[in-house]
A = this chain, B = another copy of it.
Amino acid sequence: MAVTLRDVARAAGVSAATASRALSAPHLVAPERRELVRRVARDLGYQPNRAARELITGRSGHLCLVVPDLENPFFSAVAKAVQARARTAGHAVVVADAEEDPVLEAELVAQLGAQADGVLLCSPRMSADDLAQVASVGRPVLLVNREGAGLPSVAVDNRDGVRQAVRHLHALGHRRVAYAGGPVGSWSDARRRDGLAALDLDVEVLDLGAHAPVFAGGVAAADLALATGATAVLTHNDLMALGVLDRMRTRGVRVPDDVSVVGFDDAPVATLVTPSLTTVAMPLARLGRTAVDLLLSPGDGDVPHVVLPVELAVRASTAPAPSHPPEPR
């Protein structure tokens, strides 16, 4: 059996109550006894029993992180940062993969969230109604990378990301830019379209519609882009941008000579491909850290909506616009 608080108390010659206080409310105990108890606890290798503590305090020391797909580099980066920050705050992280399934997502929040001190929810496509439903767990829920349902949130500045990307292309002489959007219902995709609509640049934006946010989606979008005569393509994320790169190569279109390509996310793979990918870098680690801080900080009344800045990472996939529209050969 593990060493218990009573063992420590007995060894230190004090009551269990004093031992408890010496460890978790030190200022309430006389200095000598406090140090005595703490030393004895250390020597005995005492570790408080989380279950017993939770039973009385109602706090488990666990945070629950729900993501659509742990294998997606975007979410694994967030998960890593969340885990690290939570640890320094004395919390463990229970991770749940919702497998891109909104129903499972709701179940997970209900089951796991109920036993955690708070829930970090990455749910790009859940409707506001479902969000509100889900958020009725008795625990604080914080949205990561989206806003909605009046819940606290941490997101990135998607509109500015789009602005930076298009401004970069405009400066390179591009005047026709195609946008390959993400899945229907994606909150961040909606914000990016807001950004495109609000541009005050002399640039024609061609909407290529909604696509699966994966390699194949980019492949499909590439053909559409070429048909529009655009000299640059902006995609919903980096995986799609890779699909565009691949398809362009297949069709004999050179990147960046004939067509420039800009992605979103700055996934690790962005620097591993040729040409390396110009992309809107998301502060994923900061996103995760901020989420934890906000969830654990005592809510001072109003609901926080933090928006983090993004930064365009210019690499080899963008170059000055060609004098003539690209022609596949």
Q: Which residues of A contact B (CB under 8 A)?
A: 2, 47, 49-52, 54-55, 60, 62, 69-71, 73, 76-77, 79-80, 83-84, 87, 92-97, 99, 111-112, 114-115, 138, 215, 239, 242, 246, 249, 268-269, 271-274
Contacts and interface: CB of A to CB of B under 8 A. Distances in A.
A153 to B, nearest CB: 23
A87 B50 CA distance: 21
Copy tally for this chain in the complex stands at 2
A15 to B, nearest CB: 21
Contacts of A274: 246, 249, 273-274
Contacts of A115: 47, 49-51
Contacts of A138: 2
Given A2-B114, A51-B51, A97-B84, A272 B215 contact: yes
A185 to B, nearest CB: 23
Contact of A76 (B76, B92, B112, B215): B76
Contact of A70 (B50, B52, B54, B83): B83
A71 B75 CA distance: 9
A272 B243 CA distance: 8
Nearest to A250: B274
Contacts of A83: 70, 95-97
A272 B71 contact: no
A73 B99 CA distance: 16
22 contacts: A47-B115, A49-B115, A51-B52, A51-B54, A69-B80, A70-B80, A70-B83, A71-B80, A71-B268, A83-B96, A84-B97, A87-B96, A92-B94, A93-B94, A93-B96, A94-B95, A95-B95, A242-B272, A246-B272, A246-B274, A272-B273, A273-B273
Contacts of A94: 62, 92-95
Contacts of A79: 70, 76, 95
Nearest to A70: B80
Given A47-B111, A51-B52, A51-B54, 13 more contacts: A2-B114, A51-B115, A70-B79, A71-B73, A71-B77, A71-B80, A83-B97, A84-B99, A92-B94, A92-B112, A246-B272, A249-B274, A273-B273
Contact of A71 (B54, B60, B76): B76
Contacts of A71: 73, 76-77, 80, 268
Contacts of A62: 94
Residue of A87, A99, A246 ringed by the most chain B CB atoms within 10 A: A87
Nearest to A114: B47
A117 to B, nearest CB: 12
Contacts of A99: 84
Contacts of A80: 69-71, 97
A54 to B, nearest CB: 4
